[in-house]
A and B are shown apart, each in its own frame.
Chain A
């Protein structure tokens, strides 16, 4: 590729704006500027230089900050759209039709539109993910595009810069020293700048004081962290990188933990505590009677014995006893088990008595375990009751057939067959809570409800996420880069002593000019330098005066 040669003789790569060696402006644009654009120190940026091949075009597209910012803004607006109505995963219904209905019912026409446009499941939509992907590509390309040349140019800085470079800095000074012997001036500057923790280099009559160059790497480090974080998030979509299961476990039960092979959990008890405070104004306004204080499941975690077959619960080893509470999950071997939900007073068992309708004589009673009912209960000689059908969550009759809404014993109903010495062939009766039994004919015996036992059920979530360390690494790098780029600034001061003893100086910082000027004030006073001016502020003043004269 052709080179640009500067008057000073240095050959610069094509696209350079400011000579790498002496600092003379090279491009027409740079020559026309009163204050040089010092971004990337005027080095050749690939995207600003080539625009021929398809690859150049793609590269330039993604490295453009305009495109980058547009992507950020589009992501921002898209994200905001997703908060207008609740997302689908917050809607507690099962089927698509129910969801559609939910949005229509609660939010009217807009809700319907929202659902139909797919905005109700926005964050997992393909286009949202592509948007984030494009953002990621843009960050990578833009960082490489600018980071590498910037690194090179900052590494090879010359002390001595040409006058045309110095004059075109934002902060400049030119003139004789204000006091004393000018031959000492550079020494004084060096001394003071070193005091201010600048690194000072000298080359004949020129001096360069520089501080915090590493701050320039801040954005590149934070972009790197961001990319690592995004990669971590993407990995999560691959199977096997994370476990997300849930389980209901009743008090007294021991169950295999879904997603956590070889482990069993025992629910010893579930505790719900509430505050006993007087209701506050907020509570009254919202009609909340009591505020929950604690949700807790006391558990025992067991591990299956080595070499045990699946589901073998013999010889299990107790590994941990713990009280799982909200905010205090049980953690073991990379897994974490969270308290998520509960059901109080689930029916555990029901007791019935087999009685003669007329005399009220009892033939014995039976206790039905509602999660695991027996087929047949023997109450005495020639006396037994069979459960022909069991509906744990009876929800009514459909075409004369009893239905159950779920597997949970919320509203148990039974079809009993009662066999007694009187009626050895048995009598059939359909029994549900709160209704009189339905019988095929006129029975002589009936099942009389005696009582129930209840217990609590705890809803737990089991999670494991191997991408978390990647996210932590990405996050830490991001914050580190952010701090470096935000809390430190790269400051430079170029000084030259001219033949006649006069001083010419120029200063630059990538941000925080206020503090740079404070440093300059100190050294100006100490080394009796001519007063510097801020060419940008001066320009503004002039513009103002111009306005006034009109």
Chain B
């Protein structure tokens, strides 16, 4: 029986909001598994949301820990400051990425996370999608002596630069990525003592194929008016499942069901708030220590985040709807990692054209740039990209600053003032456009 048939007769009440409910349940289960793994001392890999190599690691039944998600959860649960303080007392500067520090604080506290115990790392895999990842893994290497693997994915070299599969340039980079994957497999065999079975990798790739196709569809369903989900709020839950359950049957099923829910909402015209007055595209993560308030400040104006860059880059490029060729698994994985990884990085380093396309396709009224102190990866070029888009494409935008994990950087009054002023101007602009259109 297909997923669609299974849920066809469900009542609307059960279908609407299912993605959030199931996402939260899956999340709890995942943390419970980690807690059990910590107790049993099972082999565990620490990985990052941007380029987790989950397809390979899960072929070895390694538990996956996502330190970024751990830190984010600390922030949402409003305990991040305790952990940040521990790391700063240990010696970390106030200017170091707060995700790193919250995590260090947790390790100094015997890996006690508000969601459960976190197992020790046996192997850690960092892509180069954020350079801080590479510094972060060195911290665990010192703490635990675990194996460190840096998976290097050469990114876009400059504006207007691109390569297609088959071209000499692409193949040079792909060969490099593929040989690293082979070395990662060797490292996993050594760390787990388990053999590598290519069929397991193929299975995982097939699950990702399903998940990616549905994820791409889910994101595009938000091009509808009203948008069926808030990319900044609900999107976070979806993204968590996408990362933690990547390459699994449960993950693929979840995404299929989510797609079904969103299609249903679109059919019935169900949005996220009573009246969708403004559609926004978000650049940068939210302020998670004040997540609810952060979202309310926008919702109070009838604004919905219809898309975010975060859902693109933090998904390691899955938004493109990856399709692996499972018959040539390693080659295809290398190829897709290169395409999607590169796209994730381009979203941060050369964002201007993709941003303009997203604004157009998602029918956004404007862009909200949230620059966060912790993350220079996403924040460094924001002001310039904003200036460029205003100048070249006349996209109205708001620029606010705080942090994604450190509550000390948040100033609600300042946020509110800027947000209010922005929507007043945006409202006037929309009215003027309406009048002009009526002619």
Do A and B come together as binding partners? no
B residues neighboring A (CB under 8 Å): none
Which A residues have a C-beta under 8 Å from some C-beta of B? none
